[in-house]
Amino acid sequence: MASPEEVAFGSLLFWGIGMMLLAAGCLLLFLFTYQKRLLQQQLRLRTAETEHQQALLAAIIEAQEGERERIGQDLHDGIGSTLATAKLLVNRLSSQPTPANSPELLALVEELMATAVQDARSISHSLYPAVLARFGLADALQHLVDIGNETGALPIALELHYPRPLPLRQELALYRICQELVHNALKHAKGATRLSVKLQQQGQRLTLSVEDDGCGLRAPAAGGLQPAGVAGLGLRNIDVRVQMLGARLHQPALATPGTHFLIELQTPE
């Protein structure tokens, strides 16, 4: 017959084993629940990333189609109409033996052809800036500003501090962003008297700033920035390029009317 001490020890051992099994079961249940929640969270993150990639791809396609449409309009309205007019003048010259005003007509044809050549160069530069590939972003921005100043629409000032050039892919993205912002300002900044472009590189921080003192932008309820009365395709193109670049787009508040875009990019040392 077991002694009371042995009975007490057996009971204590039984309860100890039971508590250990219960603790092990609770631990397994916790690990199972935690693993399940972790897998669900990873699935949600993957789903969100996939949706973001799809939205970005759709935005890229939309931006490309918008650029193709704009190039098509430039070709049709610019070079197309110029060449059509030149063709009419040439037909007029060839239909008559010796037109009385043939020198004037020939001079006009030459002027139209020179305009068509200039338009073709402008469109070609818009498609791919040769200055950027040859000399880098700083010279390409200087060339962009010089062309903008030649139009006389709005004085453009440029400030550059760019000691360490980036890879060509990143420079091209920054150039396209600046090109779109300058184009938007020249076209939509009503009442503006100045336009400022700044490219600053301090350590690992690179900023591209485009600022004018025109009519400014309004922010629609759906979010994002949009010029008053403008479809905003150019701004969507900018947003797509900023995302592809891995940069951030800010619009700092101004004390006076105007528009200020600031693109910030972290670069390797």
Summarize pLDDT for 61-108 with one digit per residue, the tens. Answer: 666 666 677 777 777 777 888 888 888 878 777 776 666 777 787 888
For residues 213 and 216, what is the distance between their CA atoms, to the nearest angstrom?
7
Q: What is the DSSP string of 147-181?
A: HHHHHTSS-EEEEEE--SPPPHHHHHHHHHHHHHH
92 and 149 together in one domain: no
172 and 229 together in one domain: yes
What does the pLDDT look like over 161-199, one tens digit per residue?
999 999 988 998 899 899 889 988 888 878 888 899 999
The predicted pLDDT at position 46 comes to 82
Q: Is the pLDDT of residue 268 over 50?
A: yes
- Indicate the residue type of 46: R
Tell me the CA distances in angstroms from 180 to 51, 190, 193, 221, one per residue in order: 27, 16, 19, 23
Q: Is the pLDDT of residue 38 over 80?
A: yes
In CATH, what number is assigned to the domain containing residue 146? 3.30.565.10
**Pairing, β 205-212 against β 217-218:** unpaired
- Indicate the residue type of 99: P
Domain membership flag for residue 224: yes
Q: Is the pLDDT of residue 120 over 80?
A: no
- Indicate the residue type of 66: G
Q: For the chain, how many residues are written? A: 269
Q: Could you list the residue range(s) of the whole structural domain that residue 91 is in? A: 53-127
121 and 134 together in one domain: no
The predicted pLDDT at position 187 comes to 81
137 and 266 together in one domain: yes
Q: How many domains does one find in the chain?
A: 2
Choosing from 106, 127, 148, the residue where a domain stops is 127
Choosing from 99, 127, 155, the residue where a domain stops is 127
The predicted pLDDT at position 217 comes to 59
Domain membership flag for residue 40: no
148 and 168 together in one domain: yes
Residues paired with 200 in a beta bridge: 161, 207
190 and 241 together in one domain: yes
Choosing from 96, 127, 158, the residue where a domain stops is 127
92 and 57 together in one domain: yes
